[in-house]
Structure formats: C-alpha cells, structure tokens
Amino acid sequence: MIEPFNDDYFMKQALEEAKKAAEIGEIPVGAVVVANNQIIARSHNLTEKLNDVTAHAEMQAITSAAEYLGGKYLNECSLYVTLEPCIMCGGALSWAQIKKVVFGARDNKRGASNGDNIYHPKTEVLSGVMENECSELINGFFTKKRKR
Amino acid sequence: MIEPFNDDYFMKQALEEAKKAAEIGEIPVGAVVVANNQIIARSHNLTEKLNDVTAHAEMQAITSAAEYLGGKYLNECSLYVTLEPCIMCGGALSWAQIKKVVFGARDNKRGASNGDNIYHPKTEVLSGVMENECSELINGFFTKKRKR
C-alpha cells in the first residue's frame, strides 16, 4: 500500500526514530523535519548517550535541517515529534521560525504549550497526531523503568 | 593586580568571549561555566557562523561543561553570561539543574525571566553583574549595524 504524505505518515517516521531511542535506553522521543513532503532531517533523543541535556530530538533535528538547507530559518518546514516539545525546544523552534509543529503525545508537566504561546506568531501548531501510539511508547518506557 | 574570583571577575571573562563574537559579526554574547572557582567552559554566540539558531553561547557552554565533567548535570556549576538567557537557554539550564545563573544585560524582549521562573527550583539567579559594560557591548553592536 502506498502511504500518502500526510501528518500520520510523517508521525510514523518520527515514531520509528523514537523506537531507536528506546532500544538504547533513551527516553523514546523521535522527530523528523519535512520540507516539500520530503524528510530532510531525522533524529531521536540522545541525552544519555551524549551526556548532554540539550540533545533532545527536536534540537538535533533543527540543527540537522538547517545544515541540510544551508540556512538557519526553517520557515518552509514542518517538524513532527512524538512528544510535545519542552520550553527549550519550543524556544529553539521559535528562533527557527518553523512553519508548522506537529506533536503526538502531550507533556502536561514539561510541555511548552502549558504557558503562553512561545512559538513564532506564524507557526501553526497541531497536537494529538497518532497520540495513542506516541503516548503508549513513552508511557510503556517509564512503566518498564519503574519496574526494574 | 591579582583579581579575586568573584562575580565581576567571571563576568569579565564572559565579556571577553562576547568580544570574540563581535569581532566576527555575531551578536556579541559570551558565557563561561565555573566549577570550584575554575572556568571549565567558554563560549560565544555562533548562530551566524554555524547557521544554527541553537548555537547560543549558553547552549554551547552547557554542552562543553557537561563534556568536561563527564556528566550532564551542572548542579555544582555557575554560568556567567553577558546577556539574559532566552527561553531556549533558560530551558536548557533548567534541564541541567545548574546551581547559579549570573547575567549582565537584561533582555526585556526575549529574556527567560519575563515570564514565570523557568529555572530549576534550586537555581540561584543573579542579574545586573557588570550590567553597563554588557549592555554597552550589545547595544553598540546593534547601533553600528543599523548605521550600515
């Protein structure tokens, strides 16, 4: 079956990235950046492996997409991420003037959407895409971790 | 004259970093991370050179200090930065659980302190250290830029 290039399709790709993070013991968050229906950056959380709190999936995706494009503004790009961006990542997405942010699971504790809107005024934010799959992955990770 | 290791001393070091940024046409912001009165990381803004909105002085300083320490938490460290951290950098400093944040010039538009306190509850925040020198450097940069 040929999958159309829609929000679900790209979120599935972000989920694949999140699963890679889970496999190496990282909090499973994955992201992709899309320009003209083409994935130009893929990343997953690497905070443990890199010993670096700034190595969230979104931060790496922003850096990687800007590198690919040769310019630091992502105003023609969409970011798909399995978990709602935190304030750090929301701030970075704002500086990048990203066109669209799509996230799956909500993060009621650390999510950037809890306070004032910190995104660029032109940024469209869409939440809840493949929310169940994204939530199950991250909740399952923490459930397993607590059982250990 | 032997300079004591106080807030002014470390802010002067951050200012030296900011001047390096100015010399290469970057918005002049500099930072140092200090542990036990020793500077373990130095950085300056490189967003233009690296084509990367995440390359703020603070972000690089956090990554560099964690690399030096071999651990991602900076709960025994102080960060000195010439300009008030933005929301992205404030969020990163929160994740790093940094002990103390000291900044020089205020950023009334983009500063993290404008909204709710986004830092870790244990983080001490000190503002206005060498404020005039820090403000003059950054304001001078923008004045020159506008004249061109």
ipTM of the complex: 0.94
Q: How far B97 CA lies from chain A's nearest CA (Å)?
A: 10
B84: number of CA atoms within 13 Å, CB side?
20
Q: How far A88 CA lies from chain B's nearest CA (Å)?
A: 4
The tokens describing B7, both together, are: 């807030």
Q: Percent of chain A, pLDDT > 70?
A: 96
Give the C-alpha separation, B57 to B32, whole Å: 9
pLDDT of residue B139: 95
Are A53 and B71 in contact (CB < 8 Å)? no
The residue type at B141: F
pLDDT of residue B12: 98
Buried b (16+ CB within 10 A) or exposed e, B115-138: eeebbbeebebeeebbeebbbebb
Computed over every residue of chain B, the mean pLDDT equals 94
Give the C-alpha separation, A23 to A27, whole Å: 10
Q: Percent of chain B, pLDDT > 90?
A: 86
A23 in contact with chain B, both atoms CB, cutoff 8 A: no
3-state secondary structure A86-103: EHHHHHHHHHCCCCEEEE
Catalogue the E-assigned strands of chain A.
Answer: 30-35, 38-44, 77-83, 100-105, 124-127
Are A53 and B67 in contact (CB < 8 Å)? no
Contacting residues of A for B92, CB less than 8 Å apart: 53-54, 88
Residues of A annotated as part of the active site? 58
Are A90 and B95 in contact (CB < 8 Å)? no
Name the pLDDT band for B148 (thresholds 50, 70, 90). confident
State yes or no: pLDDT of A56 exceeds 90: yes
B68 in contact with chain A, both atoms CB, cutoff 8 A: no
Name the pLDDT band for A114 (thresholds 50, 70, 90). low
The tokens describing B132, both together, are: 């005039």
Closest to B98 in 3D by CA, of B107, B108, B89, B86: B89
Dihedral sign for Cα atoms in the order B4, B10, B11, B12: positive
Instruction: State how beta strands B38-44 and B77-83 pair.
Output: unpaired
